[in-house]
Each structure stands twice: as C-alpha cells, then as structure tokens.
Amino acid sequence: MSNSTEYSPLVDADDDDIATASRQTSIYVYEAPVRLWHWLNALAILVLCITGYLIGSPPPTMIISEAAYQFVFGYIRFAHFAAALMLTVFFLGRIYWAFVGNHHSRQLFYIPFWKGEFWREVWHEVRWYGFMESEPKKYVGHNPLAQLAMFLFFTLGITFMIVTGLALYAEGAGRGSFYDILFGWVTPLLGGNSHVLHTLHHLGMWWIIVFVMIHIYVAIREDIMSRQSIVSTMISGTRSFKDDRP
C-alpha cells in the first residue's frame, strides 16, 4: 500500500482504495471495533448529556414520600459516573485501535495541517455544505471538513470532558485517592476554584451537544446528497459509491 504524497479527495486512501472507488463498487472502511465503539460511545454520550443536564439543573423534589426513600438524584449521579467511566474506557480502547487498525481508524486523531491541499478541500466542503458547490467530491474515509470537526469537537472535546470530569470525581473521592493522584492537579491549575471546574465541564457538555446535533444532520444530509454512503457505512463498515467517476 502506498499513500499519495498530495492530499487526495479520496482522503487517507491508498492506491487500491482509489482504484476501487473509481469503479463504483464498495470499500471496507470501518472495522468492527470502530463501529462498535461508535455506537457504544453514542449511547454513553446520550446518558451523560441527560444526567449531566439534570445534575446541573436538578429536578424538583417529589413530595409523595421522603427524599431519603427515593434516592432519585443518587441514581442520576450513579448513571452519570458509570457512563463517564465507560466513555473513558471506550476512548482508551479507541486510541489503542488507532495504532493497530487500518489507516481510516487514525483519522480521528490527527489533522494534516501541513498540507495545503487539505485546507483547499476543507474550503470546498464548506462551500458544499453551504450550497455554494453544485457537486460533492468522493471520499473513502471522512471528508476533510468532517475530519477537522471530529478532531476539534470530538477528540479534543471528549479528552477535555474526561479530564475535567475525573477531576471533579477526584474531589469527591478525597485527597490521596486514586483519582486525586491522577487528576488532582486540574483544580489547582484553575486557581483552586472548583466552581470554575464545574462551569467548564458543564459548558463542555453543550459543546458536545452542539457537535452531536451537527453530526446527525450532516450524516443524514450526506447520505442523501453525497456520492457515497454515510450512515449505513457505520453499520456495515462498507462505503458504497453512487457513481463510477473519480
């Protein structure tokens, strides 16, 4: 396998990928661990956003019985902590797979910012999403704008949420705990102000929510308007092309 020295619209594709794509067939892009991670990660984020919102804006106390017999907020916090730890483990597993999986599994973790062609392709995608281009280009993996958005919103965003979330958990776990040893440095970095840490973590939740909304819209839009499959690819792992032109 040999990668082109220039950035190709068939992004992160090797010669076999490009040849296959030009024949209007299908290419196996996303391996099973990547697809499994995607959907488990989506479930964890859904639970985290719902419970995180409720932690930030607690539901009113129910008066049908004593609060001590209900433990509603305790269940909300438990679901949040469990989903957060699952998200962390999934993310570490995803990093591992970026090293052992195929070249498409690595797109999430880097941006070829040194390539001028990459930024020209990003601009083309901006114009395409803005309905200023008449025809989309063909891509095997993520298109350049999607790769940029995934890295900025998701990779960096999830890393930020994991670090700040575990730092908050370390406060409850107490001094000298496992979580305090690993993440106790975060609060002092913010001047020792726990409220600032809570606020940043809460704002990070909305950062992720905005990304998820855009991600779902774009995935459905591209499935309809682009020259390749999008949604079904993350189910089957196979990218199907709608025409035989490069």
Q: What is the pLDDT of residues 177-197, one digit of tens each?
A: 999 999 999 999 998 889 999
| 109 domain-assigned | yes
| 128 domain-assigned | yes
Using alpha carbons, list the distances in angstroms from residue 72 to 47, 48, 59, 65, 171: 15, 16, 9, 12, 22
| 43 domain-assigned | yes
Is the confidence at residue 15, as pLDDT, over 60? no
DSSP characters for 194-216? HHHHHHHHHHHHHHHHHHHHHHH
pLDDT at 25: 77
Percent with pLDDT over 70 in the chain? 86
The residue with greater pLDDT, 159 or 59, is: 159
Tokens of 78: 């438990």
Q: How many domains does the chain have?
A: 1
CATH of the domain at 233: 1.20.950.20
pLDDT at 74: 85
| 180 domain-assigned | yes
| 219 domain-assigned | yes
Full domain range(s) for residue 206: 19-240
Is the confidence at residue 32, as pLDDT, over 80? yes
| 163 domain-assigned | yes
| 33 domain-assigned | yes
Is the confidence at residue 24, as pLDDT, over 60? no
Rounded distance, CA 227 to CA 136, Å?
A: 7
Q: What confidence tens digit (pLDDT) does each residue in 103-148 have?
A: 899 999 999 989 999 999 999 999 999 999 988 888 888 999 999 9
DSSP characters for 140-177? SS--HHHHHHIIIIIIHHHHHHHHHHHHHHHHHH-TTS
| 4 domain-assigned | no
pTM: 0.83
Rounded distance, CA 222 to CA 242, Å?
A: 12
With both helix axes pointing from N to C terminus, report the angle between 156-173 and 72-100 in degrees, rounded to the nearest 10: 130
Rounded distance, CA 4 to CA 14, Å?
A: 7
DSSP for residue 244: S
Inter-residue contact 108 to 150 (CB < 8 Å): yes
